[in-house]
Structure 1
Amino acid sequence: MEQYETTSDLDDLATAVSTLRRAVELTPHNYPDMASRLAKLGTSLWSRFEQTGDHQDIAEAISAEQRALELTPEGHPDMAERLANLGTSIHSRFEHTGDLQDLAQAISMKQRALELTPEGHPDMASRLAGLGSALWSRFVDEQSGDFQDIAEAISCQRRSIELTPDGHPDMASRLGNLATSLENTGDLQDLAEAISAEQRAVELTPEGHPDMASRLGNLATSLHSRFGDTGDLQDLAEAISAEQRALELTPEGHPDMAWRLAALGSSLWARFDRTGDVQDIAGSISANQRALELTPDGHPARAVRLADLGASLWSRSKRTGDLRDLVEAISAQQRAVELTPEGHPGMAWRLVALGSSLSARFERTGDLQDLAEGISAQQRALDLTPEDHPDIARQLSNLAVSFQFRFEHAGDLQDLSEAVSTQQRSLELTPAGHPDILVGLHNLGRLLESHFLHTGDIHTLNEAVSKFEAGATTTFGQPDIGLRAAKHWARLLEKYNPGSPDILTAYGTAIHLTTLTTTLDQVLENRYSRLVDTSGVALQAASAAFAFERVDKALEWLEQGRCLVWRQLTSLRTPLDDLRRHDGHLADRFLELSKRLDGAGSVRIAARSEMSMSEKVSLEDHARDHVRSAREWDDLLVKIRATPGFERFLEPSPWHTLLPYLPEAGHAIIINVDARRCDAIVLSAGRSTPHHIPLTNFTLSKCNQYRQDLTNQLQAHDYRERGLAVAMATERGDEEPPRIWWCPTGPLSFLPIHAAGIYANEGTECLLDYAVSSYTPTIAALTDRVRNARPIEKATSGLFMTCQPNAPSASHIPGTTKEVQFIDNLMTKEGLRSERLEGSTITPAICLDSMERFNSIHLACHAYQDATNPLESRFLFHKGSLDLFTILQRNLKDADLAFLSACQTGTGSEKLPDEAVHLAAGMLAAGYRRVVATMWAIRDKHAPHVATDFYQYLLDHRDPGDGSGVDGTHSARALHHATQQLRIRLGNNSDESLLAWIP
């Protein structure tokens, strides 16, 4: 209503209605003010109806306004207002009754009112807005969905906003109405405009305003819609954040609570479908369960709430294998179908979902009745879906999967042929550029491969290869699905066409897609969990390259496809000297985003069910900002790489760029361990090509057996104490024996290559006798340290030591005190700069400050290795703990040597052998050039002697003219020497003595 100000107080409205009724009753029919009094009465009744929903009020309001209109002569200045008011009242009744005749009449009234409103009239904006709202209603509610209505609605609403001055109280609502109309056109550009309008509406809505929650909900709906079209995770993150805020503002008992919970459940499910984050699917199930509880029996939304819950439960069962979730999903979906009336537009999809769940249960239990019912439900859904419906392709794809299940159970080739033809039809009906094309190509490839295996038809084999190739090289869709297609592509070629050069193309594609599956917009925990499924791809690719005598490709792929997350961590800390000299602004922006992504990525996925709503809002805001920062990072990389001289900034290095920066003495050796073959690549300074050595007598099974034997020995001798030992170093040396930097892959990463040898009663011969060994996560990690080497500031030259013999919740390790005392005595004797803090005198903050003040650090303590989120790996002190993430935040530009005399510092994750998931690699990423760490444990009594021999060697070989501190240049040789001394002291080749010095 636009003519009269009315109160929102129900008592005042009741008084106004009563007074106006009495005035109308006492006014003669032909009295000049009768029309005005009737109009006022109608306005008051309409206002009360808007608050109470009393249909008697709206009927009486319309009757009064119609009488007022009848008494208003043509040309009267109030005619337009009375037409507009009557149209508004009739529209309000339509919204409660759904009577399309009311809607048509409301539109007619509003159109006539607008025609009578001159340009520049103060009510023009409100009348345009009212007509736009009514036209939108007709577009949505009429079966035809006439696009002329939505086009006119948008035109009216845009003009209305143009005429609404800034600061007008109705601006936010008008923006929201325009957005609602724009969302219905199916045009991405319109959807972008809708989102922009809704964002403005939210910005214009003051905190505490009753419409804030609904406006946030509307914004979330639009963002989720755009995510469905583009797959942009930033939109989905922003949608979830808005939905959480809307829920936080929704009081218990509010009629929109169930709707908002359901919307959040849908968005969390969509993000789980993309990222696999189990906390998202748990949150989705929880939200959908609450939404269902708040939806009473008989409510029209009951069926859709059951369907949503069923979809979430089905997704979790698919991820976890929990049959209980699948049973609950089927129960909810069956109930949803039962509650859906015939002819309802949601029936088809609910049948599809039920059919997929029943087929999935058949796959788990073998119950043929489930499969028969599943196929029946899916076929019924197809019968209900028009041929030109956008959902038809996905329905056909689901049905194809069910036919495949039936074939695999019964072996009837007719089922397999139907699966193939159904999936082909699905692909034909999928629009170009749609993400489902990638899924369809992969599924069709698998069906064709199965057809070939059962018929021997070479044509279907070639078709399968073609489909996998198409899926792997598609530029849209989820990279993990493309990666699966690439792996199938390579596998089929290797098995049936082993000489095809396309094998290398397939593996090159797989390596590229592997790097796309773990991106900076994911928290570390998710990145690592996704890598479990891709583990070994780089090793398989290298094995294929060796078979084609392409050692160059093998080297590149082993560098590009391993240590992906570790490489991301180090890339966030890449030296920027060259970039800063060229463009200081770009360098500053890069540094700012790097720090932001470091913090965002390290956040641990929390159990959202245990959080308050405000904590959930904060978490989603953080996730949204994380995705946005990752997008900005990608854009900034593009900008930097467009700069001359920086074309390959942070890209994996081609193999030939590694060779000039190898250490001048010794060899870097990468060993590839694969089921088909094992090979070594030797890289040496001064050589222009890598040297390939096939390891014909070594196999993956032998490697696994050695590892199992070693594990058994460790368990038998109870090696669980604090320990130290393998050097992960990038320094050079000039003395004999020669240096070797080992870069093992796969399960070989868990074996002590430096101790490989022949151990017999008559004598022992091992690698320790011939070479000084170190380890490096990648060859690039080694060459980067040579390339970026710079002198250490004299002011930081020195050693900081700490021992923690009695950290809380850890076993007593008295040897640590003796250990640092020995080292301190050595430093004092030589007059070198050092500092020692013990027990409760050291805190994490003091330790961090000491890392900046001293170039070398010796930590004799317990440690905790977190393989799921390595940045939470930590050193345990009497007072608190120091985690790797906190260390990474410091600028340790002069860090040189870290001696980690602690447990769990050099042992990786069994699920991720090629990801350098340990504290030692983390300390390298933090800036330390050389790290001494632990493969397993040694007895506490040996640690002081090893440490003393280590530092004594360093001091004996330091450059007398090079300051007063510890020089880590010879750290690998020092450790080699200390280990040899321990070996001599142990004096025999028993299993116990070997296990004491080898780690």
Structure 2
Amino acid sequence: MADTIAQDPETTSESRAVRLALRLSTLPSDMFDKVLISLASYSWDVWDDDNFDPQIAARDLSSRISRMSPQDKLETSALHMQEFIKTGDIEALNPAIGLLKNASNGFSEMGDSEGVCNALRQLAGCLTLRFEHTRDSDDLNAAIQACKEALDLDNSAERSNGLFTIGRLLSQRFTRSMNQDDLVQSLESFIGGLSILPEEEKRNALAFVQNDIAKSMKMAWDSIHHKPIFLTFRMAFMNGTNPSTSSTIRAQILKVLGSTLLYQFQEHGKTEDLDEAVVTLKGSTELDSTVIEAMNTYGACCLIRFEQRGLPDDLEVAVATQRKSVQLLDARDERYPSVLNGLGNALQSRFELLGKAADLDEALTTHYNALHHIKLKKEDKFIYHCSLGTAYHRRFEHFQHLSDLELAVNQLKMAISGTPEGHRSEALILATYGSALLRLYGISHRESALEKSIKVLRKAVSLTALDNPARPPRLHNLAQAILFSSSEVQGIEEAIGFIEEAISRWHSGPTSMLMFCLSTALKRKYQIIKLKVSQEVAGKDLDRSIQLGRRAIQGLLIGHDLPKLCFELAQSLLLRYKDIGTVPSDRNEALSVLEEGSKHSSKPVVEQFICALGHAQLRAEVDGIQAGLAAFKYVFKLIPDVVWIGNSIDQRYGDTKYIHMFLSDAVGLAIKAGDLKLALEWAEKGRCIIWGQIQQFRQPVSDGPWAEELKLVTTQLQSMDSHQQMSDPTLVIQVMSALALTVIPDDEPDGMSREEYAQQLAAFAFGQIRSTQYPKLTNSSLQKISRPCLLLLEAVPLSSSMSATSGVMQAIVPWQTEPVGISLEAFSEIEAKEMVSTFISDLEARKVRTRCRGFSQSTFTGRLRSILAILWKNVVHPILMAFGDKLHRLDDGRLPHITWCPSGPLTFLPLHAAGMYKSTGGESIFDYAVSSYTPSITALLSAQEHHSTSESQESNSVPRLLAVSQPNTPNAEELPSTVKEVEVLQSIEPNLTWLNDLEGTTDAVLKGIETHNWVHFACHGEQDMQNPLKSAFLLQDKSLELADLMKKSFTHTQLAYLSACRTAASNEMLPEEAVHLAAGMLMAGFQNVVASLWAIGDDDATFVAEHFYRHMKEGGWDSAKSSYALHYAVGKLRESIGVKHFLRWIPFVHLGL
């Protein structure tokens, strides 16, 4: 058809003839004269439209074409091509194709092979263009034939381009014919074109054809019939069967092919695409390990496959390749941020698998460096914010630090703000942000976080296609958020609908967690509607909830979520048992389910613990006291895991709330069973937990081959930062092992390396510490208690329902042979809490709950007098009466000495001041006994043992007294009276060492304590309720923290007199943990501590200190009698100011011996 058009101009449009004539004038200048001659010979004036005759023009043009040379035809065809390019009119290609064919024939007749080759190449191009518009296979076939004929004649440098063109055309024809010969020849053409190029030109040429090669290979891969072609060529690229193609070129081809397969996997989710991508990219990296893109993509592929299948080998390869990519790349390279991000993602996944905190720390550092890299483009930052936010979220899930979760939320918020509208990652980032907000609400209960979470998750779901595998988990998170926010049936039902959709679309594993969520939603719905509709209607939801809970547990692979699922199912079963009662077996099934959950570890461990606690409480209710005791023993075994020694101090204090919420139940059950020793042991295990853990690093190490090394290791551990976190036992051992390496001899022990020896030493030390974390109170240890010690417990339940609110207070006296129990029938926990509330509000009204000294007003409060009277009548006096003749004056006439060890709300009440204070007299504990306090029985035993050692036994000798006064502490209120206070002390003991004002630096004080056994602090004190080791005395240069004192392991210290405010004030949130400076000084090694419960007046402080030290001097400086000295000094103050001014004399207390 093209030939006819070219030979018969009449078949062309009349207007095209004129346009063509006019365009001839645009030919190059060397042909300009010839064009003008041709135009002059026309029988009409081309510039005169009035004389234009289209038929004459057409005949004349046809005649002139026949007289054109092959070169003229070649050049004239170019004019037609320009017309096509300008107008897009396919008709313009037809004359060009005819002219090129004629030109080819003309050149052939002339014997001009170069001209033929050039005409054929242009002809192939025109035929290809026409094929792309008409899809006529004849044009494609003709184009291929033209290319091949041209190639046979081509010996120039363009020959490689001819092969590349043939390869592309054959690839196109394969898509229509599916003839494997076309595919094979296509790939051979590409490879052949590269192979004939000089080595220095191959890389540039490859940039133009590498995607074409990948496309042809992908077509072979996608067809099951042509996969052998793919495998053959892929192996050829990997093995180098074509020696003309270098390994560098082949590596690049494999890199592009692997990336293409990875993209296809991400689009369609076919795992075979991912597997082949891994193989192909691995081959690329093996051929050339310096190609950063190949290494990075290979690592990403392995990471994705690990996340799909969980194969550890894939993860290790991912980390190794990403790390190598970072090492290979110049840090100033613009690709560096992307490579860092890939490494960070791999490290995050390895942390999830192995739980090594070092991986997560490195991941966070890596993501941070990537985000803040100078080469990172601003428009790409949102991806890096998302990665860093995800890493923070992961660290929160492991360590449960709220600060990490807040950092995650902030980073993800920035990621959202920087994400372009419609970006393919928008839904993913929204879902990640919404999940973090939901978790933040669960921890902080911030309503704004929940509202934002729902809004963000709704948008994420709306942007997620129905068939996207990410839709079910996003629906799950949205449903959970709605459940948190909804108290109405409508919201619950919306959440149920989302979960049911998620279950129906979930195709990638067990649906246990979805069924668990649905079960929870249905239980919520039942609880809302049960009072509004009939029991029969509402009960269907509860029945279904229980069925789904069972299925969730059955379908769950044994893992960290099992305890959570078991607890929720048990709650549903017990709810049905209580509300409906038609299924008596529900309670027994709940018992069985709770027991199952208690036997499996969870993350966090508190979920396992709550299961165990629920099981113990229900077991006592169902099977009686002895069965309950056995179950509670298992609960106590979990305490070290709940309050894990590897966690930071502040988290451990937060975790103690789980222990304290059941302690009275367990101890009360032991008392009801008549086992007071067990009750005492459990009470000790549940109080001062953190102090007990810290003390384990301070215990003497038993003799043995590792004794000296163990002592050094535990000493170093003791000196570590209290904020450090080691949530994995393995990590704790690793840290201890590293410390061990620094203290063991350089010589290798027999049969093992120093590293192996250090590892065994660390494991042994850890086992020793853990096994002694909660020492049992044996008969021999109880007999060491030299005087009555009153352990005042919280409410003991009266019934098997374990309801503490119905119980009475109980005292246990661990003295002499067997513990003795004393029931305080007239005193309940409710009454104790009410008294504490009144007491604290009264102190706050009087402004004595501050850290500042200087309070001097005379304070009498009727409410406090009433509290002291109730304490005397209902607590202290009944205890004194229970002792009877056993509580009497000592042989030297001194009053008996009682040590109070209060629990729960009683820790805030001044038992040492209990009494009936009337205008006409009255009686009080002050008249019957000397009072001391101890935070725990173990602390008292430790102080007694310390006192009995030869090193600390210096009775009847003048103490080495260090006095520290701070009249002008930087950034604190002035305390000029502290100088007068120490001057009074100096008048009593002239040989004391005095560090005053600027002399009182932390180093000077610490060095002073090392050489003195008595210490007097007259300064400001500061309590840190979150981390008691940060509680401190305010000195000249900085604060002397309790942690600094405890690092020293003092063995000679006898007495610490803390003439500062509130040094013995407990934390209302942690009544069992003795979170105050005075307890800390006991734990640091001081046998006796004088402290204050609230603000003390300057004159009162000096008065009491003077009488205290005078009495101590008169008694021979025996620190064991310091409680009597304080009793005497406070008695003198009472005589001076009047007993009714309670707020002035009550705050002075003694702790210890």
Shift of 1:86: 8.9
Structure 2 counterpart of 1:822 = 984
1:561 to 669, 686, 710: 686
CA contact (8 A) 2:660 2:686 kept: no
Is residue 507 of structure 2 the alignment partner of residue 417 of structure 1?
no
User: How far did 1:290 drift?
Assistant: 0.9
Bigger drift between 81-90 and 696-705 goes to 81-90
User: Please, which moves more after superposition, 801-810 or 452-461?
Assistant: 801-810
CA distance in 1 between counterparts of 2:323 and 2:190 reads 40
**Deviations 1:7-53 (CA, angstroms, capped at 9, x unpaired):** xxxxxxxxxxxxxxx9x9999865667489659999xxxxxxxxxxx
Letter in 1 for 2:951: P
Quick check: 1:393 aligned with 2:494? no
- Note the C-alpha offset of 1:296: 0.9
Deviation (angstroms), 1:633: 4.5
Q: Give the SS at the match of 1:875.
A: strand
| Change in CA separation of 1:97 and 1:940 when aligned onto 2, cut-off 3 Å | farther
Q: Which moved more, 1:566-575 or 1:451-460?
A: 566-575
Give distance in 1, aligned partners of 2:323 and 2:834: 60
> What is the aligned partner in structure 2 of residue 950 from structure 1?
1108
**Counterpart of 1:923?**
1081
Correspondent of 1:455 among 561, 569, 580:
580
Q: Structure 1 pair 631/474, CA: closer, same or farther in 2 (3 Å)?
A: farther
Post-superposition CA distance 1:263-291 (Å, at most 9, x none) = 22223233334444222222121111111
Letter of the 1:985 partner, please give it.
S
Deviation for aligned residue 1:910: 0.3
Q: Alpha-carbon deviation of 1:820?
A: 0.9
Q: Which amino acid aligns with 1:392?
A: T
User: Structure 2 residue aligned with 1:693, among 822, 832, 837?
Assistant: 822
Q: Which runs of 5 or more residues in structure 1 are unaligned?
A: 1-21, 43-61, 602-622, 725-732, 959-965
Query: Shift in Å at residue 189 of structure 1?
Result: 4.7
* Aligned equivalent of 1:335: 459
Q: State the Cα deviation string for residues 223-255 of structure 1 (Å, max 9, x = none).
A: 333444566655444433332233232655355
Contact 2:1092 2:1149 in 1 (8 A): no
Amino acid aligned to 2:1002: P
Deviations 1:700-737 (A, max 9, x none): 1232233234335434554355399xxxxxxxx99643
Change (3 A) 1:805 1:245: same
- Among residues 526, 533, 545, which one is paired with 1:407 in the alignment? 526
2:403 to 279, 297, 315: 279
Residue number among 495, 509, 515 corresponding to 2:634 in the alignment: 509
Is 2:441 aligned against 1:317? Answer: yes
Matched letter for residue 987 of structure 2? N
AA matched with 2:561:
D
SS of residue in 2 equivalent to 1:679 = strand
Q: Distance in 1 between matches of 2:845 and 2:451?
A: 45
Q: CA, structure 1 residues 234+470, in 2 after alignment: closer, same or farther (shift >3 Å)?
A: farther
Cα distance change, pair 848–436 in 1 and its aligned pair in 2 (3 A): same
Q: Distance in 2 between matches of 1:644 and 1:274?
A: 25
TM-score normalised over the length of structure 2: 0.70
Q: Out of 563, 575, 599, which is 1:473 matched to?
A: 599
The question of whether the paired residues in 1 share the 8 Å contact of 2:573 and 2:590 is answered with yes
Match of 1:801 in 2: 963
1:599-748 correspondence runs (5 A): 600=724, 628-629=731-732, 632-633=735-736, 639=760, 651-657=772-778, 659-660=780-781, 663=784, 665-674=786-795, 675=804, 676-684=807-815, 687=817, 689-715=818-844, 717-720=846-849, 722=853, 736-748=894-906
Instruction: Supply the RMSD in Å over aligned alpha carbons.
Output: 4.6
- CA 1:935 to 1:106, structure 2 compared with 1: closer, same or farther past 3 Å? farther
Look up the SS of the partner of 2:566 in the other structure.
Answer: helix
Per-residue CA deviation, residues 447-466 of structure 1 (Å, 9 max, x unaligned), is: 11111111123211111122
Amino acid at match of 1:773: S
Separation (CA, whole Å) in 1 of partners of 2:430 and 2:629: 48
CA deviation after TM superposition for structure 1 residue 630, in Å: 7.0
Partners in 2 of 1:690 and 1:558 — Cα distance?
A: 13
Match of 1:141 in 2: 264
Equivalent position SS for 1:655:
coil
TM-aligned CA distance change 1:270 to 1:176, over 3 Å: closer
Please state how far the C-alpha of 1:511 moved relative to its aligned partner.
2.6
Cα deviation code 1:319-364 (max 9, x no counterpart): 232222222222112222222233222222222222222222213x
Q: Determine what percentage of the aligned residue pairs are the same residue.
A: 25
Cα distance in 1, alignment partners of residues 1146 and 952 from structure 2: 36
Alignment of 1:280-295 (within 5 A): 280-295=404-419
**1:845 aligns to 2:964 (yes or no):** no
Q: In 2, distance between residues paired with 1:268 and 1:558?
A: 38
In structure 2, C-alpha distance between the alignment counterparts of 1:181 and 1:131, rounded to whole Å:
19
Superposed displacement of residue 297, structure 1: 0.8
Q: SS at the partner of 2:1094?
A: coil
Q: 1:30 to 1:951 in 2, by over 3 A?
A: farther
Match of 1:59 in 2: none
Cα deviation per residue 1:413-465 (whole Å; 9 max; x = unaligned)?
1111121112222222211x221212111111111111111112321111112
Aligned counterpart for 2:1023 among listed residues 865, 878, 885:
865
Closer/same/farther in 2, CA of residues 597 and 991 from structure 1, 3 Å limit: closer
Shift of 1:913: 0.4
Q: Which segments of 5 or more consecutive residues in structure 2 lack a partner in the other structure?
A: 1-117, 123-149, 166-183, 531-537, 741-757, 796-803, 856-889
Distance (whole Å) between structure 1 residues aligned to residue 671 and residue 330 of structure 2: 65
- Alignment of 1:482 onto 2:608: yes
**CA distance in structure 2 between the aligned counterparts of 1:836 and 1:117, rounded to whole angstroms:** 89
CA contact (8 A) 1:755 1:766 kept: yes
Secondary structure of the equivalent of 1:800? Answer: strand
TM-score of the superposition, structure 1-length normalised? 0.80
Deviation at 1:487, TM superposition (A): 2.8
Q: Contact 1:132–1:152 at 8 Å: present in 2 too?
A: no
Query: Corresponding residue for 2:674?
Result: 549
Q: Which residue of 2 aligns with 1:728?
A: none
Are the equivalent residues in 2 in contact too, given 1:79–1:113 (CA < 8 A)?
no
Range with bigger deviation, 170-179 or 210-219: 170-179
Instruction: Please state how far the C-alpha of 1:156 moved relative to its aligned partner.
Output: 6.7
- Partner residue of 2:505 out of 381, 384, 399: 384
Alignment partners' CA distance in 2, 1:998 and 1:917: 16
CA distance in structure 1 between the partners assigned to 2:325 and 2:185 by the alignment: 35
Distance 1:909 1:125, change over 3 A: farther
* AA aligned opposite 2:1100: H
Distance change >3 Å, CA 436–CA 600, structure 1 → 2:
closer
One-letter code aligned to 1:740:
I
- Compute the displacement of 1:509 (Å): 3.0
